[in-house]
Amino acid sequence: MKKPPYLYHGSPQRTNVLTPRPARGVGPEKDRLCAVYASHVREFVIPFALPIVPDERGNPSWTLSFSGSRSPGEGRARVVIKAGRLDLSQVGYLYRVPSDTFEPVDDLQWVSYAPVRPLDCEIIAPADYLDMIEGGEITGERGAGKKEIS
C-alpha cells in the first residue's frame, strides 16, 4: 500500500502531541507495541475516540471488529463493550496526523515510534456513533455534535 499524506488517530483525551505508549491490545504482538497507532481509514479509529469509562472495579474492556473495504470512507466498525460504559456526556477526539514517521503493521494500522504533532482535531460526540455500539451500558446526556477544532 502506498503511504497516504496523513492518517487518523482516535483518543478520548485531548493533547497537542501524541506520544508513543504501550498499547493495551490483547491480540497479536503488533497490537501491543509501544507506539502511536493510526489508520488511513477514519471509520476504523473512531471507536478509539469514544469515551468508554471503566466499570466499578476500574476495568474498561471492549472489542472492535471491522468489516468491509479497507478504503477510506468505507467499511464498518462494531464495538462490543464488555466492561465499563459509554458516557454520552463526554467527547472524544479524532486527530489527523502527518504520515511521515509512520510505518504499516497490517492492512488497517500504522505505527510511529516517535512523538507526533496532529495537523488538526475533530471533536467526536459519542451519541453520533451509537449505531456501532453493541452491548454495554450507555450513560450521560447527549453531548454536542461534531465540530472541527484546532
Q: How do the domains of the chain map onto residue ranges?
A: 6-149
Q: Which residue has the higher pLDDT, 76 or 95?
A: 95
Mean pLDDT to the nearest integer, 98-122: 96
Q: What is the mean pLDDT of residues 121-144?
A: 85
In the predicted structure, residue 149 carries a pLDDT above the cut 80: no
The mean pLDDT value for 124-146 works out to: 79
**pLDDT value at position 61?**
84
Calpha distance 47→132 (Å, rounded): 8
Query: Which pLDDT does position 89 carry in this prediction?
Result: 94
The pTM score is 0.86
